[in-house]
Amino acid sequence: MTDDTHLRAELYLRGDTYGTFDAQQQVLNRVKRLEANGVFTESMVAGEWQRIRTMAEDKRSGALATYEEFRDWAERNATSLEPAFERRTRSYVGLDRVDDVVVFPVVSLAIYDDTQLEAVFPCTDGEYTYTVGDALDAFERGDEEWLAQFDTVTVGRTEPWLEPGVETTP
């Protein structure tokens, strides 16, 4: 990272999962410490998403728009967001309706430099899974080369898609 680099950490938490509060809080605390230490110029809980989203359910939250950006980044980097993110169909008992849905992970982390999406965690290249913890470990040890292994994509935004509405704290 250079002096021109201004990393922003966007943390995404799933709010409908029981038993994950402590783990989410530990990740949030690590991100905030990295910001306090000057590794990130800004960090935020970008929003809370629910486990499953359909297009009909996503008119205001931007969860699927965020997922699409993440997926573009993963394709550019020859990685996959699965199994942490899962894209599948959902059918309904007694209805002829089938929806395409995305199942979101309990926690994910996106790193930006201005309008450039630098990296998304978790992801996998087929041989290795890069976790949120791996990313935070690299930042905590000051490994400036670690992030450089990923290619960036331009997202054209400097604010999260997810609607800020209610302050989200795990």
pTM for the full predicted model: 0.86
pLDDT score recorded for residue 94: 82
Q: What percent of the chain has pLDDT over 90?
A: 57
pLDDT band for position 144 (cuts 50, 70, 90): confident
**Mean pLDDT score of the chain:** 86
Looking at per-residue pLDDT, the higher value among 103 and 164 belongs to 103
Beta-sheet strands, E only, within 15-167: 42-49, 52-54, 86-91, 98-103, 107-113, 116-121, 123-124, 129-130, 153-154
Residue found by looking up tokens 């297009």 in the block: 55
pLDDT at residue 55 tops 70 = no
Q: What whole-number distance in Å separates Cα of residue 141 and Cα of residue 128? A: 20
pLDDT score recorded for residue 166: 37
pLDDT at residue 69 tops 60 = yes
**Region of poorest pLDDT, from 1-5, 14-18, 61-65, 106-110:** 1-5
pLDDT band for position 158 (cuts 50, 70, 90): confident
pLDDT at residue 45 tops 80 = yes
pLDDT score recorded for residue 27: 96
Looking at per-residue pLDDT, the higher value among 80 and 166 belongs to 80
Q: What whole-number distance in Å separates Cα of residue 5 and Cα of residue 77? A: 20
Overall average pLDDT of the 41-61 stretch: 74
- The pairing of strands 42-49 and 7-14 is parallel
